[in-house]
Amino acid sequence: MKTKIKKLFWDMNISQSEIQILLDNNDLNNPLTTSLYVRILSSFSWYKILEQLNEKQLQSALSDKVINKIKSKCLQERFKYARNMLFENEGINQ
């Protein structure tokens, strides 16, 4: 994990290793994991997101459970479009 992700949680007392564990576990039933993905999608450029997340993490980050928590409707639509282009045959709209 790159240290830039840690900066997204400046307002929380969470270590870089705890963030890495959240990413490694990739459990969308954990509210911190969902929050982590929302912050990544809302804060980084698309190319930075691709640098930070592996394919499984990207699939989770682009799930409806995460995308629907993004405040910007415009960003939601962009990420849904990206998901459909990248994973259209994999049914990850959970």
Residues 42-85: pLDDT tens digits?
A: 999 999 999 999 999 999 999 999 999 999 999 999 999 999 99
Query: 3-class SS at 91?
Result: coil
On the question of pLDDT at 23 being above 70, the answer is yes
- How far is residue 56's CA from residue 29's CA, in Å, rounded to a whole number? 15
pTM, 2 dp: 0.87
77 CB-near residues (< 8 Å, 6+ apart)? none
Specify the pLDDT at position 66: 98
Average pLDDT score over the chain: 91
- How far is residue 6's CA from residue 38's CA, in Å, rounded to a whole number? 14
